[in-house]
Structure 1
Amino acid sequence: MPPVPSEEGAACRDAIFEKPPPALVGSLQVNKKLQSGQRIFTGQLKGPESFTVDDKGNIYTGTVDGKLWMISGDQLHFITRMGQDMPECGTPDYEPVCGRPHGVRMDQDGVDGLPFKFLNGLEISKKTLIYFTDSSSKWERRHHKYEVIETNHLGRLLAYDPVTRTGRTVLSGLYMANGIALSPFEDYILIAETSICRIIRYWVSGANAGKKEVFVDNLPGYPDNIRLSSTGLYRVGISTTRFPSFFSPFLDALGPYPFLKRFIAKVTPLSFYSIFLQKHGLFLEINNKGDIVASFHDPDGSVTWAVSDVFEHNGKVYLGNTELPFLVVLQ
């Protein structure tokens, strides 16, 4: 079993959730909009988390077993794999040798990667600068639940210049830095801080260049990827909700009890935490002021839950996930 969360990390979480989850009213009113979705490639794609598209309209996604796939019309094609080809690929213990693609984007130029601990979100600017996140310098992706429980601030936003082939840290000290999205004018970039349920904005140019600020706080769940839609709104996939249920939100409930959190982490496997997570599908639409203007729900998870990415293409919306054996499409 991996090392248990530190006392410092536990104490940090106690100070984070100062407010209860937001009330499910107004733009957060529970609905069944996601239940109009259709599952495709069931049993063929496990955890298609992120998406990109080429100039021919082919969609690309990576799965939990380290594979990269292309979706052409209604056909699924295997492209390549990130690591070794082993029967155990797709299980947490073998992620270091099989690989696990996260953010996927299309680029016309080849870019050499940098070896980091937990590479996650990816965004390519029109200035050929590549932004990406390293969620944690302590935990790998397969142990991401420990990163959430500990609430470390060991995440980073980095930038890579393919012309000079140099990388640099843009912002450090982030709470599980995850999905990112550039604004239409590329004057700021949004960063999901998953473990504390918020999104921050970092200004990369203009009068506010170098300034970091909270964009939206106290989200109704843990944000994953962020996408700019054709309507100018930011779509945010919610990997796990914080909604009250028979099992009250697990991480919120444990917040005031650091000793209990450490004890549970010592005596239980990571899979234990999943039984407390509600199967409620959700993604949000947020305007450029940080207001949640719409929410899309599947309250009983009958079609999907654990939404990682919301990708729009040719009048369809593709809903990604990190572990589920299917892809969901909304018309």
Structure 2
Amino acid sequence: MDRPTDLVPLRYLSLGGHGPEDVVADRRGRVLTGLADGRILRIDGLEDPVTARVEEIAEIAGRPLGLELLPDGDLLVCDADGALLRVDTGSGTVRVLAEWAAGERLRFCSNVVALPDGSVCFTVSSQVHPLEDWLGDLVEHTGTGRLLRLAPDDKEPEVLLEGLQFANGLALSGDGSSVVVAETGARRLTRYRLTGPGAGRAEPLVENLPGFPDNLWRGTPDGPVWVALAGARVPPLDLLHRAAPDVRRRAARLALRAPFRPSGFIGVLAVDDEGRTVHHLTRRRSGFRMVTSVCEARGRLVLGSLWERGIAICEAPAPR
């Protein structure tokens, strides 16, 4: 992997609420995000925090995580409390698309991506730990994440992949033939082939990432997949993951009782469809912590965070 370059912050925009976990940009360069209190916001005018317009476009009953804009302007929303939603960004109307899979209630919906045929794929990070106990799943290494697919006329999604290590962000390949899944707990990106040779199979796309991949974002089919790194690699955790399940469970209980504060590390990657690194940007001592999402908007990188009360706008790297 190429030597990382500096991730340069330009400005910070407070949103008056906690945890803008995912950020996505629309065609006009406006950024959408969801806060812990259920509000979905749209931000315009990122160039100047003083004059930026922050507009509430909807509110859900749960906790919004992954977002995906649809061609008609609607917004897909993963509710961490167990549902896949569709939001009309004009009226604010919220519709439930799925609450069950394989005969079980959904739990910890994480990220979603729209497919060319009108279906959607989305992830469930854990079937053991809820969002508030996300650290417990990373420590215990439960491997209970799932990738699901909901066809346009289906009432319940089908399970495409099981056994994923904290399934998280999703992105579509440039040609639409596969999806890329971020496995946060395994520090890898996994490719699942939807069509063509090898359809229905999964394979590693990038392994041994320098940090824990969270949400993914792709602006255009010919652009790279941006990967938010929620934290730097922790070597002792790699060793713990090789321990017996009961040892990991005990360690997870201890981790959940200990106070948590993310380090000052922030990082993002951009990779192409072959898994080659296009950009690798980091900052070791940042006042903005725990980057869980990244998107491009108006020539800048916009960072979201499960931890912060706003978003960060950073300098974008020169195209390669």
TM-score normalised according to structure 1 size: 0.76
Where in structure 2 are there 5+ consecutive unaligned residues? 46-51, 75-85, 87-94, 100-105, 316-320
- Structure 1 match to 2:3: 28
Q: Percent identity?
A: 26
Do residues 104 (structure 1) and 77 (structure 2) align?
A: no
Structure 1 residues 35 and 54: alpha-carbon distance in aligned structure 2, compared to 1, 3 A threshold: closer
Instruction: State the AA in 2 paired with 1:144.
Output: W
Mapped partners of 2:2, 2:297: distance in 1: 24
- Structure 2 match to 1:37: 10
Structure 1 residues 224 and 312: alpha-carbon distance in aligned structure 2, compared to 1, 3 A threshold: same
Mapped partners of 2:12, 2:257: distance in 1: 27
Mapped partners of 1:60, 1:27: distance in 2: 31
Number of aligned pairs?
A: 280
Do residues 64 (structure 1) and 30 (structure 2) align?
A: no
- Structure 1 match to 2:151: 161
- Structure 2 match to 1:199: 189
Mapped partners of 1:265, 1:209: distance in 2: 36
Do residues 298 (structure 1) and 277 (structure 2) align?
A: no
- Structure 2 match to 1:82: 60
Q: Is the 8 A contact 2:214 2:227 kept in 1?
A: yes
- Structure 2 match to 1:91: none
Task: Quote how far apart the aligned CAs of 1:187 are.
Answer: 0.5
Deviations 1:286-313 (A, max 9, x none): 12221223211111114x2321111112
Q: 1:214 aligns with which of 188, 204, 222?
A: 204
- Structure 2 match to 1:180: 170
Structure 1 residues 78 and 262: alpha-carbon distance in aligned structure 2, compared to 1, 3 A threshold: same
CA RMSD in angstroms comes to: 2.4
Task: Quote how far apart the aligned CAs of 1:151 are.
Answer: 0.8
Task: Quote how far apart the aligned CAs of 1:149 are.
Answer: 0.8
Do residues 225 (structure 1) and 215 (structure 2) align?
A: yes
Task: Quote how far apart the aligned CAs of 1:101 are.
Answer: 0.5
Residue aligned with 1:27, SS: coil
Deviations 1:237-261 (A, max 9, x none): 001111xxxxx65523644666775
Structure 1 residues 271 and 46: alpha-carbon distance in aligned structure 2, compared to 1, 3 A threshold: farther
Q: Is the 8 A contact 2:17 2:37 kept in 1?
A: no
Farther-moved stretch of structure 1 (313-322 vs 248-257): 248-257
TM-score normalised according to structure 2 size: 0.79
Farther-moved stretch of structure 1 (187-196 vs 56-65): 56-65
Q: Is the 8 A contact 2:40 2:56 kept in 1?
A: yes
Do residues 236 (structure 1) and 227 (structure 2) align?
A: yes
Q: Is the 8 A contact 2:292 2:303 kept in 1?
A: yes
Task: Quote how far apart the aligned CAs of 1:44 are.
Answer: 1.5
Do residues 284 (structure 1) and 269 (structure 2) align?
A: yes
- Structure 1 match to 2:49: none
Structure 1 residues 151 and 291: alpha-carbon distance in aligned structure 2, compared to 1, 3 A threshold: same
Task: Quote how far apart the aligned CAs of 1:27 are.
Answer: 1.4
Task: Quote how far apart the aligned CAs of 1:56 are.
Answer: 5.4
Deviations 1:107-144 (A, max 9, x none): 33656332211100110122211110011111111111
Mapped partners of 2:133, 2:124: distance in 1: 14
Mapped partners of 1:264, 1:167: distance in 2: 33
Instruction: Give the number of the structure whose residues are more often helix, by fraction.
Output: 1
Q: 1:117 aligns with which of 107, 119, 122?
A: 107
Higher relative contact order (CA 8 A, sep 6+): 1
User: What is the 5 A alignment of 1:252-331?
Assistant: 252=238, 254-255=240-241, 262-267=249-254, 269-272=256-259, 274-275=260-261, 277-302=262-287, 304-331=288-315
